[in-house]
Each structure stands twice: as structure tokens, then as C-alpha cells.
Chains A and B, each alone.
Chain A
């Protein structure tokens, strides 16, 4: 059961309604397909599948200050993207929540851009706190950042997203063992359980099995939700926030569809790392209609 939030810092700053969030999500999806189309590379599938989560966090859930960006983020909630290949959704959400100009999305994956193929701090892009892309490292980093918050007496929350295929990396399980043992209870981790990875379905490739049972056995509080519906996702995040401060970290297993929102990309690993061609882009944009499109 959801508990009352442990402090005001968890109270959402923005009061966006679900219809408003849906409009933002559609605009973000337009950015994603246009970004990867423009450079004929990048990862649209996972980006489209995780759009509701990132929009929820940056436009409703997290207390954060986009400008000026502060790496240490004292007093701010912070998000880490472990599966860095879904950078298009991360960049779009960062830009549209005010970390950097939306026009900069046009530089994605191009020479001399701050928007590297995978997220990096090296070019000082506001909103990015760690490089990611080589998989399996984000849960450790987020756990360290959460422990730094505890040392600082900082009551804000650390969020991290991992892919489900990414859970095949051993380091994830080192961190999964560590965080409950060290009572890192200011941490909410998400798994993008879309069931797909490059070579096919995760069940066939990695045999992830019963993730709830696995993480519970490691000492996590585990919640499950549909990650593509704000109506289910937002209450689950709220429930997760209510579980903070009780000596255990929280893991949200989020069922999503890769490519969600674009019918021909949905549910298939084939759109993991492939960009749409001109015709496919036009089809996708027709499906992603917003009241007032503000494409970059």
C-alpha cells in the first residue's frame, strides 16, 4: 500500500494533467523519430517505449532545476539513464523541460555536437550526470549518488532506468545485492521490460525469468506496472515514492512496448537500432499528432 510521502521534497512541483502529459509525450515521440531519421542512426524503439516514464519524471514527479544545471544537484531529484542508447528520448525530454534549447536536438549524433550518440558529460550537456551506453553501469552509479545524498543529509530521490536485456550484465546484480544491504532507501530503479533485445526476445536470449522473484530475493521492494499508460504509471511511481525511507530500495518493473506510438515499430526488436526512411517518417508523424506541434 502507498504510504504518505516522507517529505515535501517528493511532492510534485508541476501539476500537469494526464492530457497535458500525453501531448508532451507525443511531441517527444515526434522528436525521437525525426532525430534518428535525420542522421539515419540511433535507437527509436526503446526511446518510444520509455517516453511515458521520462515525461512523467521530468514534467510531473521530480523536483529539479534545469537552469542553471548543477552537476551535484544538492536538494534536487535526479535521474540516471543506464541504457544510454535510448538517448533520443532523454535528449528530447531534457530539452523540452528546459535544460538546453530544443533547437539543439537537430545536432544529435552530428560532428561537434553536445548530443553524442550515447549520453556523455564530456561535452557538458546540461542534464547529463554520467556517460552511459556500455551497459550495466547505471545502477551502481545511481546507488553511489543516492549514498552521497544520504551523507549530505539531502532528502531528495535518485531515479535510474535500465533495459531488461541490460540485466544480463553481471554488474547489475552486484549493485542489486549492494543497495538493499546498505539500506539505500532513497533510490527508485526502473526496468524497461519490453521483452526485446538486439538478437531477439529476451526470454530466448538471456532467460531473465521471474524478475520480481529475483529482485525480491535480493531484498528490493518490487512494483509492476504498464509503462506506456500514464494512468497506471503515475500511481505506481507515487506508490514507489511512498515506500522510500523504509530501509529498502524500490524496483519498478515497467512493461512497455518497444516502438510504442508508431504502429509499424511496435513490439519488435527490429526497430531497436534502425532509423525510419523518409516514407516511414511521414507515416510515423501522421500517427503522432499533437494539438500544437512545436517541432525543432
Chain B
């Protein structure tokens, strides 16, 4: 099992803030909108240095999505910022009609996704957002794993023509991917080569998969670990190549089983290469208040849960 050294832990939302600020300097068409959450979204630097290109919308997310769609008419590249819950479920029809169906070049940037939002509880912990967004035709859905990758993704989506949902979070997590990485939309990232099982993880669960890989190595299990930062379009080629080699698959994400990464990979395997699959995800449940670590433990979204899923799926593997 490869080692993944890191010098610091940071929140992915700060990676978004840093990326947005850099775009402010490099791309004059980038504009930003926020629904009364500048600090939470780490948009302060952009707001300070590019006030003319920033729109404070207030607590009016539906209006924000419509404004963003309108701003594209005239060549702007709007980045909207609010919590994942208010970026998706609250404004689904606005996104569907004014952005997705209208083919508008809007970047929906969503923080505080999933259980790791923590103490605020289930009203704010959306676990359905990936599903909601991936169902929209032509919507690109990205869930990077750490600070550096979120910054790289933020830069990359400005150069991509079309609507994008960029999902990130609140907690501080190991910042282990390279600062100078080229973020390729739709391309999986092979983290560890292995022969016994394929673990496809996204977002905060990528680091948990690495921790699980170490535990599995101690048990003599050689796991292939792949970071699927883009849920849509899915890197079908890389996923199938790995699955055909290892003959069993575990998916891991901070999201409902229904509609998430595991669901996408299950569809792919069912069509192309039916193989045993286990999903580490929330099983048809809302979240609750608690610390992020407590919640990830209770809802089975940590390295222990991944190890258990690997053992289960390997037992199902054809002998």
C-alpha cells in the first residue's frame, strides 16, 4: 500500500475560496453570487478584491439561480455559493429550467454537503444532492476529496462550457493531493494499484478509503483505490478496467445509496460487467446532530465500514 504523506489538514471549502480568488485574477468573465454565506463559502477574498463582479443576493436562493442564468447571457461565468442543501433541493426547478434545460454556463458551488456539516443536523445535511444533480441531463457533477483538489476543480470548471455542480464540505481533512495537479473533469485518479478489490471513493471518503487500504494491507488484502471525483460524466473506462481485474467492487461516499456514486457504478457494472458490489453510503436515512466523526461512525462512513464492505464483497467473489 502506497503512502500518502501530507503536511496539513484543510477544509475543501477553503480550496474553493482560493480557486475562486485566483479565477478573479485570471478570468475577467468570472462573477460570483452568494446567498448570505460569504464566510462559510470562503468567498471573502473574491468579494474584497473584485467587488464589482460579486453579487450579494441575500437569503433568496431561487433568485440567485435565475440571476446566474441571466448573467451568462452576455458572456459571464457565474459561480453561485451556498450550502449544498440550498444549492440543490431548495432550487431544483430553477436549476432544471433556467440552467440545465437552458444550457447555461453556471457553476453551482455547494459547501457543507453531507453529514460532516455536523451539529446543525439533518435540515442542513443534504445526502441527496448528487442524485438530484446527476439526474439532470448534461449536468456535470464533481465532488473533490481535499483542499488542493477542490481548488484545482474550481479552476477547471471555469474552462468547461456548461452547467456544473461542484460539491465540497466543511470539515478539515488531510490535504494530500498535489498542489500543482491538473484536474481532468471525468477522469478517475488511481491512488493505489491492487489486485484483490476495487474501491471507488469520492469526496471525503477518499481519505477514508486510503486509511482502509492500510488496514486491509495489514490483513494481506491488496486493494486498488481510485478517486472518482467526477460522478458525471463517469470514468466508465477506468472503472471497468479495474473491476475486470479485481472482480469485486466497493463504493464509498458521503451520500445516500440511492442516487449516489455507488448507484452510478452499479448501473455501469450491471450493463457491462456484472460483479459483486457493496456500497458504503447512507442507507435511506436522514442525518442528525453530532460531531462529524461521531456521525461518520454512526452512519457507517469510515475506514472500518469500508474494510467490512471489502471483506463482505470478497466473500461473494467467484472462486
Q: Which residues of A contact B (CB under 8 A)?
A: 71-74, 78, 120-122, 129-134, 136-149, 151-152, 154, 170-171, 174-175, 177-178, 182
Contacts and interface: CB of A to CB of B under 8 A. Distances in A.
Given A122-B101, A178-B58, A141 B75 contact: no
B246 to A, nearest CB: 41
Interface string B241-279: 000000000000000000000000000000000000000
Contacts of B76: 148, 151
Which 3 interchain pairs have the tightest Cβ spacing?
Answer: A144-B70, A140-B66, A148-B74
Contacts of B60: 174, 177-178
B123 interface: no
B63 to A, nearest CB: 4
Contact of A143 (B53, B70, B101, B102): B70
Contacts of B55: 147, 182
B157 interface: no
Chain B contact patch, size range: 20 to 34
Of the candidates B55, B78, B98, the one having the most CB atoms from chain A within 10 angstroms of its own CB is B98
15 contacts: A121-B102, A130-B73, A140-B64, A140-B66, A143-B66, A143-B67, A143-B70, A145-B73, A146-B70, A147-B67, A148-B70, A148-B71, A148-B76, A174-B63, A175-B66
Contacts of A142: 70
Interface string B221-245: 0000000000000000000000000
Contacts of A133: 97
Contacts of A134: 93, 96-97
Contacts of B72: 144, 148
B74 A154 contact: yes
Contacts of B65: 140
Interface of B: 31, 52-53, 55, 57-58, 60, 62-76, 78, 93-94, 96-98, 101-104
Contacts of A141: 66-67, 69-70, 73, 98
A78 B73 CA distance: 10
Given A141-B67, A144-B69, A148-B73, 12 more contacts: A71-B73, A74-B75, A121-B103, A130-B104, A140-B63, A148-B76, A149-B74, A152-B74, A171-B63, A174-B62, A177-B60, A178-B58
A27 to B, nearest CB: 29
Nearest to B69: A141
Nearest to A120: B101
A142 B63 CA distance: 11
B103 to A, nearest CB: 6
A122 B63 contact: no
Given A132-B97, A144-B66, A152 B103 contact: no
Contact of B102 (A130, A146, A174): A130
Contacts of B104: 130
A136 B103 CA distance: 19
A177 B52 CA distance: 20
Contact of A148 (B57, B62, B75, B102): B75
A175 B73 contact: no
Given A131-B97, A140-B62, A140-B65, A145 B57 contact: no
Given A140-B62, A174-B63, A178-B58, A130 B74 contact: no
A151 B74 contact: yes
Contacts of A144: 66-73, 78
Most chain A CB neighbours (cut-off 10 Å) among B65, B67, B68? B67
Contacts of A145: 70-71, 73-74
B71 A178 contact: no
B16 to A, nearest CB: 21
Nearest to B104: A130
The winner among B60, B70, B74 for most chain A CB atoms within 10 A is: B70
Contact of B63 (A149, A151, A152, A178): A178
A133 B74 CA distance: 22
B57 A178 contact: yes
A132 B102 CA distance: 9
Contact of A122 (B57, B74, B102): B102
A136 B63 CA distance: 9
A137 B94 contact: yes
Nearest to A82: B66
A72 B97 contact: no
A13 to B, nearest CB: 21
B113 to A, nearest CB: 24
B98 A131 contact: yes
Contacts of B57: 178
A151 to B, nearest CB: 7
Contacts of A138: 66
B190 to A, nearest CB: 37
A278 B52 CA distance: 57
Contacts of A120: 101-102
Contacts of B93: 134
A144 B71 CA distance: 5
B67 A151 contact: no
Nearest to B94: A137
Contacts of A182: 55
A174 B70 CA distance: 15
B62 A147 contact: no
Contacts of B74: 72-74, 145, 148-149, 151-152, 154
Contacts of B70: 130, 140-148
